[in-house]
């Protein structure tokens, strides 16, 4: 499980680095399509882990609270960096673009924190907290999974229809609620994992599954090329189209098989602290890139490697620092 989480977070780091560095993603569309289901599989694994433990509402609430405190620390730190640096460094400060906030520092801070839009991936913390709270009320995931799947299909069908027929992106706030912050979408992989844990089921690649995966991957790549050609971005269509949902289902088996084949110790370590990496890699690896890029001219592929390695270095430094911190502070800083 840790090896799989490590592989997934590596895909996330790499994907965000590629999108941040490359000016033209046309030839990288298949690679981005391949790694795009990583968050879907992350949510599946989160559901699986929740399904394996005995349900205790108080502990679930405490866990959700610890997630928020962990997020609050890093979101506040990144906000300070945004305010002090401004300019190119704040390109990943999503709040600025979504809400057009130009008021007081306090208002900027509160909107940034409580809208979970301080960076490209902070939405995921809100998703995790909502799913934790929902898990309190789950009795038999098998009974509600079909309805959850139907909801995900309807929602993703709307997203696919929009990107195929419209000449503009989804509106920022409404688009976020339909895609990244939509519990209807994320509940489906969470319940899949929860159900598999209850049934003690392990998903392994089968010939039909691999065939469907390849077929959906090809269709999904064409979908990406079409969206990128129209909008010069993959925002919104990246994970939330109908093809993306179906590809996510079969990616669970493919990624599990791949993680077993490359079962390396550094991947296990990355998996153990995947949530920490998820929190710190943006905006800090982006800021590191923007800073160095003004002094050093390197190929784009080289910057991708440097950004990923930088995030891993920050993780290791934080883990060493955490050894001397009191336990309550350590939990806030590294989330464990």
| Residues 122-163: tens digit of each pLDDT | 988 999 999 999 999 888 899 999 999 999 999 999 999 999
Q: What is the pLDDT of residues 46-73, one digit of tens each?
A: 999 998 888 888 988 988 999 899 999 9
225-to-75, 160, 166, 229, 316 alpha-carbon distances in Å: 33, 13, 15, 6, 37
304-to-32, 272, 291, 311 alpha-carbon distances in Å: 13, 23, 14, 11
Q: What is the pTM of this model?
A: 0.92
In the predicted structure, residue 102 carries a pLDDT above the cut 80 = no
Mean pLDDT of 296-303: 91
Burial of 102 (C-beta count, 10 Å sphere; 0-12/13-18/19+)? exposed
Confidence (pLDDT) at 304: 93
Q: What is the pLDDT of residues 300-331, one digit of tens each?
A: 999 999 999 999 999 999 999 888 888 888 88
Sequence-separated (6 or more) residues with CB below 8 Å from residue 104: none
Mean pLDDT of 212-227: 93
87 falls in which pLDDT band (50, 70, 90)? confident
119 falls in which pLDDT band (50, 70, 90)? confident
Confidence (pLDDT) at 85: 87
Measure the CA–CA gap between 246 and 84, rounded to whole angstroms: 42
Burial of 143 (C-beta count, 10 Å sphere; 0-12/13-18/19+)? exposed
181 falls in which pLDDT band (50, 70, 90)? confident
Confidence (pLDDT) at 32: 94
Burial of 269 (C-beta count, 10 Å sphere; 0-12/13-18/19+)? middle
The neighbour count for residue 191, using CB atoms within 10 Å, is 27
92 falls in which pLDDT band (50, 70, 90)? confident
Confidence (pLDDT) at 294: 82
Q: Are 196 and 51 in contact (CB under 8 A)?
A: yes
| Structure-token pair, residue 238 | 């990246």
Which of 61-65, 247-251, 271-275 ranks highest by mean pLDDT?
Answer: 247-251
Confidence (pLDDT) at 282: 86
């Amino acid at each position: 499980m840790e090896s799989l989480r490590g592989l997934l977070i590596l895909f996330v780091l790499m994907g965000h680095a590629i999108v941040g560095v490359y000016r033209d993603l046309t030839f990288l569309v298949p690679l981005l399509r391949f790694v795009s289901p990583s968050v879907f599989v992350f949510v599946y694994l989160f559901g699986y882990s929740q399904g394996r433990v005995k349900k205790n509402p108080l502990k679930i609430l405490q866990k959700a609270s610890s997630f928020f405190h962990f997020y609050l620390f890093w979101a506040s730190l990144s906000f300070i960096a945004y305010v002090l640096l401004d300019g190119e460094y704040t390109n990943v400060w999503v709040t600025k673009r979504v809400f057009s906030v130009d008021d007081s520092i306090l208002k900027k801070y509160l909107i940034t924190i409580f809208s979970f839009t301080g960076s490209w991936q902070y939405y995921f913390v809100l998703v995790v907290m909502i799913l934790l709270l929902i898990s309190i009320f789950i009795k038999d995931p098998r009974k509600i999974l079909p309805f959850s799947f139907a909801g995900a299909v309807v929602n993703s069908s709307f997203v696919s229809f929009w990107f195929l027929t419209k000449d503009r992106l989804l509106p920022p706030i409404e688009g976020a609620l339909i895609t990244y912050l939509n519990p209807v979408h994320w509940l489906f992989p969470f319940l899949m994992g929860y159900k598999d844990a209850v049934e003690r089921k392990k998903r392994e690649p089968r010939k039909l599954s691999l065939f469907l995966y390849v077929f959906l991957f090809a269709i999904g790549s064409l979908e990406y090329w079409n969206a990128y050609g129209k909008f010069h971005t993959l925002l919104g269509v990246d994970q939330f189209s109908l093809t993306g949902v179906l590809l996510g289902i079969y990616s669970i088996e493919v990624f599990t098989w791949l993680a077993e084949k490359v079962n390396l110790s550094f991947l296990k370590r990355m998996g153990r602290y995947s949530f920490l990496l998820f929190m710190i890699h943006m905006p800090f690896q982006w800021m590191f890139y923007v800073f160095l890029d003004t002094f050093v001219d390197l190929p784009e592929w080289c910057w991708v490697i440097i950004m990923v390695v930088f995030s891993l270095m920050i993780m290791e430094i934080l883990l060493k620092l955490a050894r001397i911190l009191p336990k309550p502070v350590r939990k806030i800083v590294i989330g464990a």
